[in-house]
Amino acid sequence: SDVDSVLVLQGRSDETNPYTKTIAIQMWLLGYEFPNTLILLTSDKVYIIASQKKAKILEALQGASGGVPIEILVHGKDGAKNQEMFDKTIAVIKGCGSRVGTIAADKSSGKLVDEWNAAFAPAKSSFSQSDVGAAISDILAVKEESEIKYQKTAGKMCSSIIHGYFIDEMASIFDEEKSITNDKMAERIANVLTNDKLFKKLFSGIPMLDMAEWSTHPIVQSGGNYNLSLTAENSTSQLHAGTVICTLSMRYFMYNATISRTFMIDPTPEQEKNYSFLLGLQKQALAWIRAGVTMGAVYSKIVAHVEEHRPDLKENLTKDFGFVTGIEMSDGTNTIAPGCISTFKPGMVVVLRVGLENMANPKAADKYSKNYAYQLIDSVVVRDNASAELITTGEKEPNDVSFFFNDEEAAPQKASKKDAKRDAKRDANGVDRKPATRKSAILPSKFRSEEKEEESGTRKRREHQKELLNRLLAEGRRRFAGESGDNGEETRVVKKFESYKRETALPREVRSQKILVDERAESIILPIYGMAVPFHISTLKNIVKTEEGDYVYLRINLASPGQGVGKKDNLPQEDAESTFVRSLTFRSTDAVRMNEIHHSITALKRDQVKRETEKAQLADIVQQDRLVPVVGQRPIRLPDVFMRPVADGKRFPAALEIHTNGLRYMAAGRSGGTTIDILFNNIRHLFFQPCDNELLVLIHVHLKNPIMMGKKKTQDIQFYREASDASFDETGNRRRRIRYGDEDEIEAEQEERRRRRQLNKEFKEFASKIADASNHEVEVDTPFREVAFNGVPSRANVLLQPTVDCLVHLSDTPFFIITVADVELVHLERVQFGLKNFDMVFVFKDFKRAPVHVNTVPMKQLDNVKEWLDSVNLAYTEGPVNLNWAPIMKTINNDPAGFFEDGGWSFLAQDSDAEDDESEEEESEFTVSEDEFEESESESSEEESDFGTESEESEEDEDEESGEDWDELEAKAKAYDEKRSHAGDPADNAPPKRARRR
């Protein structure tokens, strides 16, 4: 707006209307809401009228270097002084010009407002007032990255509450047939912010959680009464198992984000169809939101899309499809509505909303399901030359939001892959299908149904891998857009040392013009042309002593750029024109003195190298907080456990204790013992591994940052107990002499199994108590032995076991732990026919981290490894040879943006499951052409002739029998098996269990 000054007047706080442009501009300028405050903005100065208390707070803004001048005027109880202050302000407005900008939509009341209106009334006619509300909206609409970060955090918290709390709570209520009203359910959600246990579980890792609050009260709607407004009131009717809409709006550091999800319980096919269309509409709208596009144009595209594909739903659409959000929750100026000429700009955060209301369900099971509505809301960030970025996450596909409670025969929507395969083998009536006859030269399985399952599973896995690789490519381009790379090596800087601050600090002995070694200053003082010149010991490369005749020579070699053989030894050069002293040679006939100097310099250099090495090892050590012991009660203890690594050279059993904010282990030792404290906030993974098929039962802690144990640092600490009781003597008891044979062995085995069960129970319960004590900041993870595979991560061939979040080997040292979330890609090397083993390479998302190799994995476990990688959403590729990863990672680090622009990891995927051409190769494994089929039959007939050469008639009979199809041959084989089963032992001739699936 074209105005000379802007007047922002705020009266008393109005809790019924917490979102006004006046409050928004105050928060944007000052960081807080200031009731009963007047702000006058001019071209060169800001005037603020406030009470004495507020003025004292605002004084900190005055005098800021480079800031706008601010004058603060105090509004008090003296009416005359107040009038004088108002007159001064009006004079300032007149001096700026007659055009005054105000926010016309905001009306407020209060003492300050009344006094100002009375003082301004006589001069009001001499000014022309304009509404600047739209201009303020445009200013506040575009956010800086720091502001977007706050909104991303608010969106993350909203998503965590819906998908980490509400879904489970709602499903539990419906499953257990509990009764609760919509408003009580909304109240439970609101109380999440005051429930410390849930608060820490859902929002772990988010700093300054006290700055989070609800923008509006959570909204839960069900039972046929729906209001898709963000300010709707919760009804007191019962939460109904039909269509449930949950809408959450939260703000973090005053910045808002909104999310809404619809959940369907026992939906009809028509309802699922309508929801799928709405979801597709939202995805389409997200693609249309781009910088430079007008909001009205996006609205028109959405309506046109509905008219083209589902004209029957046009009347059910919401009146608008979103708005810009920020400090002000809903911007009434910038909305995705008809006729809006505002354009999307980079940095805008938009609440994208699509909904269908007043929908009728003719197949409703009860009166509460006759009417329903759908709503999907996500908060998105507009980016420059790219699609909008979602800041609210969570599953919203039909299978993820549909629940089935009443139909017992219906397959669960969130079925496992194994269940999906089993259900795919059933027809519409729930009867197992018989596998279709397949013409193939070779049957890889005894049952053709297994072949069909494997083929289907391989196809699904290939399609999923294509999706994962495409996602990695898109994520890499977004992640490294506009970034310049480096070579992945640590930047070396020129270190500067200062032996003495001034000349008077030199030792007195320098007057003797001799070589001196000053251990206190870590320096060598050399006489050069009659002057004492100090050299810090860090500048020394080495010292060489030689004897020639009567003289002893000391050659002092100094470190300088260009001397190193390798990059590690070479020093950086700060000034290319600098001159460096590389060596100095001294000689003397005093052999004893020269020997002393050589010994002193060597010892000083050795100590300096030792200190530097220890300092480098401790570079990533983070100072932990102090452990807070449990007060007033005995801590929960796990007695008689050993620890690895050993703290003091020799292992002794001790107790592991749970305290307020961590664990404590009092390790006994030869020097009095060591106390090891592990804080919950430093634990990244907590593993419990039972002693089934193992010699140890253990609890393993993998830390975020390493800690010091004695003089060594460690990132993995393990507490264990041996499963076998070595102190139990089975040979000398009385029962052994009286009763002998198999009974003793059976009893011993039963005792060992009982002892193992007891150990597993004790350690598992203790691990669960650790998780509870940490308010579930730490969760217990257990290895899955049934999907484990062998490999060589270090030197020995060990069993690698997947967990929910990791791939681990915990039974022996060195421990092996890889977090799945840290892995970018897994490449399988040496995957080719004829080899017995293959290798795995884990490439991390942090490209500066060296890839980890797992070698010599048996080829027979290749499919199991692929299935596991696919199940945890890890993209994998495969190749026939080993690659040299050092230059590959160096190339990527030099230009990561260019790497992904050129196709990213596609150069590895030529022989992997993600390639399109493998579908043709897969068909060739199971189907053959007619020529090949006839040739194979002729070869088989020749082989048969070697065994059956009785007569030409028998050969003709065989030729006739070779024309039988697979069904006839299978029927004959079945009859033959039945005949044998009557003649022999039924148990020996029983068919395999898997045959029942036919």
Cis peptide before 645 (omega within 30 of 0): yes
Round to whole Å and give the CA distance between 186 and 170.
11
Which range, of 619-623, 824-828, 885-889, averages the lowest pLDDT?
A: 619-623
Helices (H) and strands (E) in the chain, counts: 24, 37
Ordered DSSP codes for 107-130: ---SHHHHHHHHHHTTTGGGSEEE
Closest CA to 423 of 382, 399, 453, 463: 453
| Burial class of residue 884 in the structure, from the number of CB atoms within 10 Å of its CB (0-12 exposed, 13-18 middle, 19+ buried) | exposed
Report CA Rg, the chain. Answer: 39
SS3 195: coil
pTM of the model: 0.47
Report yes or no: 705 and 622 within 8 Å, Cβ to Cβ.
yes
Round to whole Å and give the CA distance between 305 and 726.
75
Round to whole Å and give the CA distance between 27 and 326.
11
DSSP state of 347: T
| Percent of the chain residues topping a pLDDT of 70 | 80
Ordered DSSP codes for 171-205: HHHHHTT---BHHHHHHHHHGGGG-HHHHHHHSTT
Q: Residue 310 corresponds to which amino acid?
A: R
SS3 898: helix
Confidence at residue 150, expressed as pLDDT on a 0 to 100 scale: 93
Closest CA to 861 of 792, 789, 801: 789
DSSP state of 413: T
Spell out where 382-424 has E strands.
389-390, 402-403
Confidence at residue 737, expressed as pLDDT on a 0 to 100 scale: 44
| Residue 977 in this model has a pLDDT that exceeds 80 | no
Round to whole Å and give the CA distance between 652 and 670.
10
Confidence at residue 482, expressed as pLDDT on a 0 to 100 scale: 65
Round to whole Å and give the CA distance between 711 and 154.
43
DSSP state of 155: H
Q: Residue 942, by phi and psi: left (phi above 0), alpha (psi -120 to 50) or beta?
A: alpha
- Residue reference for tokens 């970034």: 483
| Residue 944 in this model has a pLDDT that exceeds 60 | no
Confidence at residue 990, expressed as pLDDT on a 0 to 100 scale: 41
How confident is residue 716, by pLDDT bands cut at 50, 70 and 90?
very high
Round to whole Å and give the CA distance between 9 and 47.
12
Spell out where 830-905 has E strands.
837-844, 852-858, 876-878
Tell me the longest C-alpha to C-alpha distance in the chain.
Answer: 134
| Residue 275 in this model has a pLDDT that exceeds 50 | yes
Q: How many CB atoms lie within 10 A of CB 590?
A: 12
Report yes or no: 874 and 468 within 8 Å, Cβ to Cβ.
yes
Q: What is the mean pLDDT of the chain?
A: 81
Which range, of 582-586, 748-752, 934-938, 951-955, averages the lowest pLDDT?
A: 951-955
Cis peptide before 814 (omega within 30 of 0): yes
- Residue reference for tokens 């042309």: 529
Cα angle at 556 between 553 and 559, to 5 degrees? 160
Round to whole Å and give the CA distance between 279 and 374.
10
Round to whole Å and give the CA distance between 264 and 267.
6
How many Cα neighbours within 13 Å face the side chain of 294? 9
Residue with the bigger pLDDT between 173 and 956: it is 173
| Residue 671 in this model has a pLDDT that exceeds 80 | no
Report yes or no: 538 and 545 within 8 Å, Cβ to Cβ.
no
| Residue 859 in this model has a pLDDT that exceeds 70 | yes
Round to whole Å and give the CA distance between 89 and 74.
12
Report yes or no: 235 and 219 within 8 Å, Cβ to Cβ.
no
pLDDT digits (tens, 9 = 90+) for 201-235: 888 778 888 889 999 999 999 999 999 998 899 99
Give CA torsion, residues 494, 500, 501, 502, to 10 deg: -130
Round to whole Å and give the CA distance between 657 and 664.
5
Beta bridge partners of 50: 74
Confidence at residue 34, expressed as pLDDT on a 0 to 100 scale: 86
Confidence at residue 80, expressed as pLDDT on a 0 to 100 scale: 87
Residue with the bigger pLDDT between 639 and 432: it is 639
Round to whole Å and give the CA distance between 614 and 632.
41
Confidence at residue 337, expressed as pLDDT on a 0 to 100 scale: 93
| Residue 968 in this model has a pLDDT that exceeds 80 | no
- The most confident of the ranges 91-105, 407-421, 914-928 is 91-105
Which range, of 332-346, 411-425, 781-795, averages the lowest pLDDT?
A: 411-425
Confidence at residue 18, expressed as pLDDT on a 0 to 100 scale: 67
Confidence at residue 564, expressed as pLDDT on a 0 to 100 scale: 53
pLDDT digits (tens, 9 = 90+) for 767-787: 999 998 998 889 999 999 989
Handedness of CA 589, 590, 593, 595 (dihedral sign): positive
| Percent of the chain residues topping a pLDDT of 90 | 36
Round to whole Å and give the CA distance between 86 and 89.
5
Confidence at residue 131, expressed as pLDDT on a 0 to 100 scale: 85
Round to whole Å and give the CA distance between 669 and 115.
79
Which range, of 480-484, 643-647, 675-679, averages the lowest pLDDT?
A: 480-484
Straight-line distance from the first to the last Cα atom of the chain, in angstroms, rounded to the nearest whole number: 78
| Residue 164 in this model has a pLDDT that exceeds 50 | yes
Q: Residue 696 corresponds to which amino acid?
A: L
Round to whole Å and give the CA distance between 504 and 531.
14
How confident is residue 964, by pLDDT bands cut at 50, 70 and 90?
low
Report yes or no: 621 and 713 within 8 Å, Cβ to Cβ.
yes
| Residue 388 in this model has a pLDDT that exceeds 70 | yes
Which range, of 373-382, 518-527, 703-712, 947-956, averages the lowest pLDDT?
A: 947-956
Report yes or no: 858 and 909 within 8 Å, Cβ to Cβ.
no
SS3 799: strand
Average the pLDDT over 805-830 and give the result: 94
Confidence at residue 725, expressed as pLDDT on a 0 to 100 scale: 56
Report yes or no: 945 and 937 within 8 Å, Cβ to Cβ.
no
pLDDT digits (tens, 9 = 90+) for 80-119: 888 889 989 999 988 888 889 898 888 888 888 888 888 8
Closest CA to 377 of 344, 398, 395, 351: 351
pLDDT digits (tens, 9 = 90+) for 595-631: 998 999 999 989 888 888 777 766 666 677 889 998 8
Confidence at residue 406, expressed as pLDDT on a 0 to 100 scale: 60
Closest CA to 289 of 380, 396, 378: 380
SS3 710: coil
Alpha helices (runs of H) in 347-496, residue ranges in sequence order: 398-401, 417-424, 448-479
